[in-house]
Amino acid sequence: MSLNFLVMNYTPEKLVDCWENLRNYFMVNTQGTRTHLKIQFYTMVMEPAQRFAEFKQRIVFAANQLNSMSSKEVIDDSDKTAVLLNGIRKHHKRTFDATLSLPATPSSRLRHRHHKD
């Protein structure tokens, strides 16, 4: 479908309608791409030579790409966290397992030190 067909009969006063027409066409015709990218997102794995920060950035980039293809948020923070924890290299897993298994300490039991200036 040509761009002219998508914007024909829209005057400058109807710019919002024109934009919505273009956006809707794009979203409908990218469903296959979105599905493919979603599968890739949920199966991301940290490459052997990749640093942790690079893997995290790769996850954020992929999530932003997917979210930009839809009018609503498709990937949220819990999805990003799940991909991060499932895709990290084995030698990082012990660190995350230990961190996640720490018992939660109620704030009323925490001791705070006050320093005098």
Domain span holding position 77:
33-92
Residue 56 confidence (pLDDT): 93
Residue 108 confidence (pLDDT): 57
Q: Domain for residue 46, yes or no?
A: yes
| pTM attached to this predicted model | 0.56
Residue 54 confidence (pLDDT): 92
Q: Domain for residue 15, yes or no?
A: no
Q: Domain for residue 53, yes or no?
A: yes
Structural domain count, the chain? 1
Q: Domain for residue 6, yes or no?
A: no
Q: Domain for residue 42, yes or no?
A: yes
Distance from CA of residue 6 to its chain's centroid? 30
Residue 15 confidence (pLDDT): 72
Residue 8 confidence (pLDDT): 61
Report phi then psi at 2, rounded to 5: -85, 155
Residue 58 confidence (pLDDT): 95
- Of 70, 73, 83, give the one whose Cα is nearest residue 39: 83
Q: Domain for residue 40, yes or no?
A: yes
Place of tokens 């009018």: 71
Residue 105 confidence (pLDDT): 56
Put residue 9 in one of left, alpha, beta given phi > 0 → left and psi -120 to 50 → alpha. Answer: left
- In angstroms, the CA 54 to CA 64 distance is 15
Residue 112 confidence (pLDDT): 53
Q: Domain for residue 27, yes or no?
A: no
Residue 111 confidence (pLDDT): 59
State the 10-residue block means of pLDDT for the chain, 117 residues long: 55 72 68 82 90 92 90 91 86 66 60 55
Residue 68 confidence (pLDDT): 86
Cβ count near 46 (within 10 Å) = 20
